[in-house]
Amino acid sequence: MQETVRALSAVFLSFLLLLLANGILTIAAADLYIPNSVLFGYFFCASFVICGYRIMVKTLYQDDDLNVNAANVIIYGAEPKGSLMQKTIVGISDRQFRVVAFIDENEMLTGKTIDGIRIYTPEQLPELLKPLRVKYLFFSKPDITAQTKNSIAEVCLAANVKLMNIPAVDRWVDGHLSFNQISDVQIEELLGRPAIELSNDNVFRFMSDKTVLITGAAGSIGSELARQVAAMRPASLILCDQVETGLHDLDYELQEKYNLGSSLVCFLGDVKDSPAMDQLFSTHRPEIVFHAAAYKHVPVMESHPSEAIRNNVLGTKVLADLSEFYGVEKFLFISTDKAINPTNIMGASKRIAEMYCHSLHHTGKDFQLIDPLVYRIDSMLGKTKFITTRFGNVLASNGSVIPRFKDQITKGGPVTVTHPDIIRYFMTIPEACSLVLEAMTMGNGGEIFLFDMGEPVKILSLAQKMIKLAGYEPDKQIKIEFTGLRPGEKLYEELLNDQEEVIPTHHKKILKAKVQKNNDSVMDEITKLIDLANECRDEEVVKQMKFIVPEYISNNSVYQLYDTKALPQVTVAKSV
């Protein structure tokens, strides 16, 4: 367009000058003048010849300069700047890419062309890949849904077409796209589902004037929860964790982004350290508690049952008791789907922590808060609303399967999968935290909230897809090895046990489990369990866990020896 404007401007200027000269000659009654019809003919002919010549030269130059080995590319998203996108991709790649087609779901564009490149519908994609010898597909539409992206990816990966993302035009640096800004499509983009729709106004109103405590704040769930809560400008936000570096980094991030000042408090401490937690509660008086601190790795906890109980059960008990004592309004415990019909120490410990919170919500008896002090809190009992949420696996969390697969692929393999039939439910970290906030707002105490996790994901298929996304062929360039189920691991997870019923809520993606009331003696049994854990009596700890949670049946574990329908109670030496 710039070449055309310059050429037409030059021709038009000469045309005006000739018209002016012709007018002067006509007024002077001179015999020498050019007929106006000739001038107009000159204008159109000169415009056509000059512009056509320049276009021809540029076209021939571009065709000669094309790399014969350039990879054929399809761009998903033809509007509004498809032509700009096409030229930019060819330019920044030093002509290593050649755009051969556009894909767009807008039916009004189907069959049209951009710079001679045809626009097709997504349904036509499978029949284009082989004839056009496509090597890459670039996603240029930022608002494409995960479902659509996943369906496109299935077609492309089956044909060994690599998927890439192009950032939105408004994210280009100074209006120019850098080759470094083109990134690989990540597996999280394909596993994600439509974002959960929350009552954001209700959540904001509920959280904005509260003093909020988040334990495990340096972890994957805790840190994202802190980000979402910080955006709501609570009266005070207290972040508790025993990981110094992670807590420091989160503090720096939130202060830089939200400038919370003194309303953001970082507390370095261990949730099972009663005096430290008592200091936290007595000093800051939280009104809302999100308890995300926990040990979560199944194989590690299978080797350390006492520590699993101390952190996951005792830590929950300490925080729940303090919340009751100091009159916390709501206490939300983040559990896991591994707590249902548990087959490992970790899942069983989280189930016992669930049972303690549920019992504490309904009990009215006194209990020991911090040894050796005993607080009578009859006036406080029943005022704290204890709520539980159960999650599946969260994408890209610390130590989860996806970061491990990425690391193994980067190193050239092999990618290790425990079992060819193992499946898991996945959700994104923002989804999980949104559920937590919604559950905190809607919960009245005593509930266990579940999330509609969608379809389960086969881990073997996940590994194969990640290898293809990285541009390799599974079992050829990157090997997949099966290592066998780890101690305590099972093939699939559940969200309900046989004694629980599902009750719908006002949100179609959030369900509530109707849980049977625990045995009246469960709190005493949990106290015995904690005493055993404090004495590091691992075998007795496991026996007591199986007594408290009869559905806890070990799988692929040394503790299968203790799986009986009825286990004798264990005599415990009283802690001092």
Query: How many CB atoms neighbour CB 399 within 10 A?
Result: 11
Q: At what angle do helices 459-469 and 146-158 cross, to 10 degrees?
A: 70
Name residues whose C-beta falls within 8 Å of residue 258's C-beta, 6 or more positions apart in sequence: 230, 231, 233, 264
φ/ψ region of 160 (left if φ > 0, alpha if ψ in -120 to 50, else beta) reads: left
Which amino acid is located at 65 in the chain?
Answer: D
476 noted as active-site residue: no
CA neighbours closer than 13 Å in the CB half-sphere of residue 342? 27
* 162 token code pair: 């690599």
Contacts of 130 (CB under 8 A, 6+ apart): 159
Nearest residue to 420 (alpha-carbon basis) of 469, 339, 474, 345: 474
| Axis crossing angle, helix 315-325 with helix 274-284, rounded to the nearest 10 | 30
Give the Cα separation of 387 and 384 in Å (integer): 10
C-beta neighbour count of 148 within 10 angstroms: 15
- Catalytic one among 149, 338, 509, 546? 338
Q: Is 358 helix (H, G, I), strand (E, B) or coil?
A: helix
For 554-565, give one letter per residue: b (16+ CB within 10 A) or e. bbbbebeebeee
Instruction: Give 100's contacts (C-beta < 8 A, 6+ positions apart).
Output: 72, 73, 74, 117, 132, 134
Task: Give the separation between CA 522 and CA 363, rounded to whole angstroms.
Answer: 11
Q: Cis (ω within 30 of 0) for the bond into 80? A: yes
| Alpha carbons 351 and 494: distance in angstroms, whole number | 13
Residues marked as catalytic: 338
